[in-house]
Structure 1
Amino acid sequence: MSTPPVGEITAMASNTSNSTPTYYSPTAILTDSQKAPTTFSLAVPTLTPLNNGSAIEEGTKLDLPLWLAEMLAVSKPAGPASPTSLASLDMPFALGPRVLNALKADPKSVDVRAQAPWFYGLGERMLELFEDEEVGEVLLETFRQRALEIADKSQNTRAAMSQAGDSADFMSGLDETERQRTSFLHGKNLHNSLRHLDKDKIQWHYRMKRQQLTLL
C-alpha cells in the first residue's frame, strides 16, 4: 500500500543556493541518487527517455533521482504564460505520514534502510526544499534514540547479531549513516561511543535546524 502525498509544493531556487557544495562527496552523490516523486507542470517532449519512451504530458508523475527532480523544479520555462517551474516535488514515501507515525511510536522498530539507504541524508535534503517542521523534529528524535541503541550494540555486536528477533533486525535496518557510525565505534568502550554519537547528534541537529531557518 502507498501513502498519499504529504502535499505537493514547488521547490524554489533560492533555497538551493544555501546548500554547501559537495560536488566530489560520494555520500552526497549517493544521497542525491535516491528518488523523489515528481509531477511535471507541462509537456516536455525532449525528456521521454525518463518515462521509458512514453510522452511526458502535463501532470505526468515520475519517481526521479533527487538531483534531477530538484533541477527540474528550479528550472523556469520560457514564456510569460508558462508555469513557475518545469516540475514540482512531493515528499518521498520514506518521509511520508506512515513512516513518520511509526518513527514517533518507536524509532528503533523501523527498518530505516528499507525506506531509503541514505535515510537521514534524504531527510536533510528534502528540508532544503520543503517547509515541514514535523519531519525535522521526528528525524532528530529518531537519530537521538537510535544513536543510543547503536552505541550499546556496537559493544556487543557478536552477541547482538547472534540473537533472533528485534536485536538483529535493528542492526540490519541501519541506514548508511548509522552503519558508518557503527564501524567507527566498533571496539571503543561504551563511554567513548556515547561521546562520539552525542557529538554526531549535535552536529546533525545543527544542520537540520539550519535548513529549517533558511525557510523562514
Structure 2
Amino acid sequence: MYYDIDAILTDAQKVPCQFELNVPGLGYIDGNTGGDLKRGTKVELPLWLGEMLAVSQPTSTGALVTLDLPAALSQRVMNALKADPRTVDLRAQAPHFYALAARMLELFEEEEMVDILTETFKKRSAEIADQAHNPRGALGEGAEFLRGLDETERQLFKSAHESAKSTRSWMADMKKH
C-alpha cells in the first residue's frame, strides 16, 4: 500500500465546520467538558473528517456539518493573489496550499477561485523557474520569495534547479569532446 505524505498532511489541514445537529457527548470537541455538541457550533476539524461529516446524511434533514472555506482560501487571500501573486507567502497560508485548494474545490463550485489559482500558479511558476536557473538570485533578492513557496512549488523549484544543473553539466561535457 502506498501512502503519500503530502496527501496525508493536506487532509490533516483544519477547515471550519458548523454542526447542523445536536450531537450527544461530543462537547469536548468545542472545549466543553463532555456535554453535548449543540447545533450551530462552529469548530475547526481536519479536512478528512469535515468532508466525511459534510457528505454523510445521517438523517433526512441533511448533512451533519456544513463546511466553509479555510482562511487560506478566503476572499482576502484571493484578492491579494489577484493583485500580485508573487508577493503572497503561500506557505504561511497553508504548507500544502495548492493541494488544499484542489481538495476544497472538489467540494465547492468556485469558478473565480479556479481562475485566480490557475493564474497564480502560472505567474509564480515563471518566477520559480527564473530563481531555479539563477541560483545567485535565489540567495539574494529571491530568498524571501522562495521561503513563501508551498510544497508543490518547492518540488517545482527543486526539479527546475536540478534540470538546469544537469543541462550545465551536459554542456560542459560537450565542450570537452
TM-score after normalising by structure 2: 0.85
Mapping 1:59-208, distance limit 5 Å: 59-78=40-59, 80=60, 83-163=61-141, 167-189=142-164
Corresponding position of 1:47 = 26
Q: Distance in 2 between matches of 1:125 and 1:23?
A: 19
* SS state at 1:186 partner: helix
Code of the aligned partner of 2:110: D
Per-residue deviation, 1:158: 3.9
Structure showing greater relative contact order (alpha-carbon pairs closer than 8 Å, 6 or more residues apart): 1
1:189 Cα deviation after fit: 2.7
Q: Percent identity?
A: 53
Q: Separation in 2 of the partners of 1:113 and 1:149?
A: 16
Query: What secondary structure is seen at the aligned counterpart in 2 of 1:185?
Result: helix
Following superposition, the deviation at residue 70 of structure 1 comes to 0.4
* Cα-Cα RMSD: 2.0
| Counterparts of 1:23 and 1:138, CA distance in 2 | 32
Contact 1:155 1:187 in 2 (8 A): no
Return 5+ residue gaps in structure 1 as ranges: 1-21, 193-216
The answer on whether the counterparts of 1:111 and 1:173 sit within 8 Å (CA) in structure 2 is yes
CA contact (8 A) 1:160 1:168 kept: yes
- C-alpha displacement of 1:25: 2.0
**Greater gyration radius:** 2
CA contact (8 A) 1:103 1:142 kept: yes
- 1:164-185 CA-to-partner distances (Å, cap 9, x unmatched) read xxx2221100001101111122
